[in-house]
A and B are shown apart, each in its own frame.
Chain A
Amino acid sequence: MAPLPGRGLAKGLAVTLRTMTRRSVTAQYPDVQPELPPRSRGVIGLLEENCTVCMLCARECPDWCIYIDSHKETLPAADPGARARTRNVLDRFAIDFSLCMYCGICIEVCPFDALFWSPEFEYAETDIHELTHERDRLREWMWTVPAPPALDPAAEEPKEVAAARKTADKQAAAAAAAREAAAAPAAVSPSPDSAEEQQDS
């Protein structure tokens, strides 16, 4: 039997109807921010307090897009016999984002954890000179840096957290023991020490 005329058109229109009734996957960007994965690399933030101006980031940057200026300040000696201390002070820290290729070498190489990835991506400019951002803007981006991702459930506890927890436990035990000593005075004085030693291990 010869195919009915218009079959192709009907099939095509059926596809159109099916697609029209299906939900679209469009992410309405300006109204809704995208769901960025963790550790997204958007822009680089600087925590100035950690920076010692070692210049490793500027040296290792393959694009030479980090501009650092610093000067040395001399502080008088603390002890009478010691020499005067010199300290590096950061004057200027600028990253030229028109050149930056977002490789992250500066962040990896920084020994003092002064540079961080931030997922911000909305910083297009109309003038290329404005793409060189100074340390005030880099600090603003620090507030958008997400918290570090949680460790695996089976991993051992990080040392900083372990130290903080032990200190907190010790203080709690000391507080509990002080309360006990206050409640039952004089006769039970050895017991706070043995309780502390048991909890310390």
Chain B
Amino acid sequence: MDVTPVRTSGTSGTSGGHSAGHGHGHGAPAGGPVPLGIPDPARPGAAVEQRRLGPLARLAPDPVKVVLNWGRRYSLWCFNFGLACCAIEFIAASMAKHDFIRMGVIPFAPGPRQADLMIVSGTVTDKMAPAVKRLYEQMPEPKYVISFGACSNSGGPYWDSYAVTKGVDQIIPVDVYVPGCPPRPEALLQGILKLQEKIAGESLAERYADGPDAAPAAPRVPDAALRRPLVGGPGSGPAAGASGAPRSGADR
């Protein structure tokens, strides 16, 4: 059976073939390969299923939206997904000294089905990844995710490991990333404040619509920024080096 991908850019088969790659999972071309939901690095978190919103929420007028956003952001029940060292900082943030109940985040939800906010703290291994996705799917809408610490942001110190998921946003959509290894408990509090600001400005219609209503995708750093042409040495002079002409003659 012919399983070559349906792509006419003419890069198939050469050794430099992945130079144009965004890759996978863009949605099925007609009669083409089945989309496997392989994470697309250009759109983290996009491998999740579409969410649906009822017509009533879409029609809610603005003052009601303000009240609903206020209620939602100050009553986040948190499903603390503590996996590793960052969990200790999370626990510290839930205890007396830096109490995040002051912000309305109640810790220790009985389970994902009663939670609004999932704070992934710690290294997500490939073994744990299906469990993370399953528990995320068990949370009822509207739900938010905070990725806490370097390991859940992007794999962190274990970015090179064969067994680590390089960032939990490969499997679930993340709303706020808190950097640190581990971040201070106050950094988690600031991350929660940032999430609350995000919820305050949220429009549920935009969040759940897939069509003209949908929120515009955040501008991504283009992949081409990572693949510059070679810069000429001092002998070739500034003009040749700065023109950006591809010097990949040695490449092909």
On A, residues with C-beta under 8 Å from B are 24-30, 34, 42, 62-64, 69, 71-74, 86, 96-102, 121-129, 131
Give a binary string over B4-35; 1 marks a CB under 8 Å from any A CB, 0 the rest: 00000000000000000000000000000000
- Among B154, B181, B190, contact of A124 (Cβ-Cβ < 8 Å): B190
- Among A29, A69, A124, contact of B179 (Cβ-Cβ < 8 Å): A124
B178 touches A34 (CB 8 A): no
Specify the chain A residue showing the minimal Cβ separation from B189: A29
* Distance of B74 from chain A, by nearest CB (Å): 14
**Told that A121-B190, A126-B198, A127-B177 touch, could you supply 20 new A-B pairs with CB distance under 8 A?**
A26-B96, A29-B98, A30-B189, A34-B184, A42-B184, A63-B156, A64-B159, A69-B231, A98-B154, A100-B179, A102-B180, A102-B181, A121-B184, A122-B186, A124-B176, A125-B194, A126-B194, A131-B153, A131-B177, A131-B179
A126/B176 contact (C-beta < 8 A), A25-B96, A86-B234 known = yes
A121/B186 contact (C-beta < 8 A), A29-B98, A72-B233 known = yes
B156 touches A99 (CB 8 A): yes
- Per the 8 Å Cβ criterion, residues 83-132 of B in contact with A are 96-99, 102
A27 touches B97 (CB 8 A): yes
Q: Which residues of A contact B174 (CB under 8 A)?
A: 128
B209 within 8 A of A: no
B82 within 8 A of A: no
B229 within 8 A of A: no
A24 touches B96 (CB 8 A): yes
Q: Which residues of B contact A127 (CB under 8 A)?
A: 177, 218
A128 touches B177 (CB 8 A): yes
Q: Which residues of B contact A99 (CB under 8 A)?
A: 150, 153-156, 159
CA A125 to CA B178, docked complex, whole Å:
7
Q: Which residues of A contact B180 (CB under 8 A)?
A: 102, 121
* Distance of A62 from chain B, by nearest CB (Å): 7
